[in-house]
Structure 1
Amino acid sequence: MKYESETGESMEKPGKKLKKFLIITGTTGLVYAGLKYLLPLVAPFFIGYTLALILRPSVRFIRYRFRFAVFGKTWKIPSGLIGAAEIGIIFGGLGILVWQGILRLCRELQLLAVRLPLWIMDFDSRMAEYCMKMERAAGLKSGCLFETAAEMTATLGEKAKESLMPFLMTNSLPAAAFFIRLTLVCLVSFLAAVLSLQEMEELRHRRDQSLFRREFNLIGNRLVQTGKAWFKSQGIILLLTCGLSIGAMIWMGNPYAVLAGTAIALLDALPLLGAGAVLLPWAFLCVLGGQWKDALILSALYLACYFARQYLEAKYMGSEVGLSPLETLAAVYVGMELFGFLGFILGPLGLLLIEDLTEIWEEGADRGKLT
Structure 2
Amino acid sequence: MGKPEKKLKKILRILGIAGAVYGVFRFLLPLVIPFLFALIFAVWLHPSANRISHCLRWKIPGIKRQVTVPEGAVAVMELLLIFSALAAMACFGGRKLFQEIVRLSEHLPSRIREADRVLTKLCRLTEKTFGLKSDFVVLALRTLLREGMFSLRQRAMTLIVGHSAMCLRFCIYAGVFGAIVLIATGLLVQEMDFWKKRIRNSEFQREWNQVCERLTSAGAAYLRAQGMILILTTLICIFGFWLMKSPYYLLAGIFVGILDALPIFGVGTVLIPWGILMLFIGNWRKAVLLFVIYVVCYFLREILEAKLMSRKVGMTPFETLLSMYVGLELFGIAGFLLGPVGLLMIRDLSRIWETDEGGEAAAAGGQE
Q: Is the counterpart of residue 58 in structure 1 residue 30 in structure 2?
A: no
For normalisation by structure 1, the TM-score amounts to 0.82
User: Matched residue of 2:97: which SS?
Assistant: helix
1:33-76, Cα deviation, whole Å (9 max, x unpaired): 22333222222111101101111111111111111213111111
Counterpart-to-counterpart distance in 1, 2:233 and 2:197? 45
Query: What is the correspondence of 1:1-371 to structure 2 with a 5 Å cutoff?
Result: 11-70=1-60, 71-124=63-116, 152-271=144-263, 274-280=266-272, 282-283=274-275, 285-287=277-279, 289-295=281-287, 297-298=289-290, 301-302=293-294, 305=297, 309=301, 312-313=304-305, 316-369=308-361, 370-371=363-364
Q: How much does 1:231 deviate? A: 1.2
Judge which range, 109-118 or 230-239, deviates more.
Answer: 109-118
Give the aligned residue type for 1:24: I
Q: How much does 1:168 deviate? A: 2.8
Structure 1 pair 190/272, CA: closer, same or farther in 2 (3 Å)? farther
Q: Tell me if the contact between 1:49 and 1:196 (Cα under 8 Å) persists in the aligned partners.
A: yes
Structure 1 pair 282/57, CA: closer, same or farther in 2 (3 Å)? same
Judge which range, 127-136 or 249-258, deviates more.
Answer: 127-136
Q: How much does 1:341 deviate? A: 2.9
Report how many residues are paired. Answer: 360
Counterpart-to-counterpart distance in 1, 2:186 and 2:323? 34
Counterpart-to-counterpart distance in 2, 1:23 and 1:161? 53
For normalisation by structure 2, the TM-score amounts to 0.83
Gaps of 5+ in 2: none
Counterpart-to-counterpart distance in 1, 2:170 and 2:263? 20
1:254-289, Cα deviation, whole Å (9 max, x unpaired): 244344323311222134654455435534643553
Give the aligned residue type for 1:57: P
Q: How much does 1:93 deviate? A: 1.1
Counterpart-to-counterpart distance in 2, 1:21 and 1:365? 14
Structure 1 pair 160/288, CA: closer, same or farther in 2 (3 Å)? farther
Judge which range, 261-270 or 60-69, deviates more.
Answer: 261-270
Structure 1 pair 145/206, CA: closer, same or farther in 2 (3 Å)? closer
Gaps of 5+ in 1: 1-10
Q: How much does 1:339 deviate? A: 3.2
User: Matched residue of 1:12: which SS?
Assistant: coil
Counterpart-to-counterpart distance in 2, 1:313 and 1:286? 31
Q: Tell me if the contact between 2:100 and 2:247 (Cα under 8 Å) persists in the aligned partners.
A: no
Give the aligned residue type for 1:82: V
Q: How much does 1:228 deviate? A: 0.4
Counterpart-to-counterpart distance in 2, 1:54 and 1:74? 27
Q: Percent identity?
A: 36
User: Matched residue of 2:107: which SS?
Assistant: helix
User: Matched residue of 1:22: which SS?
Assistant: helix
Structure 1 pair 254/362, CA: closer, same or farther in 2 (3 Å)? same
Counterpart-to-counterpart distance in 1, 2:316 and 2:125? 55
Q: How much does 1:196 deviate? A: 0.3
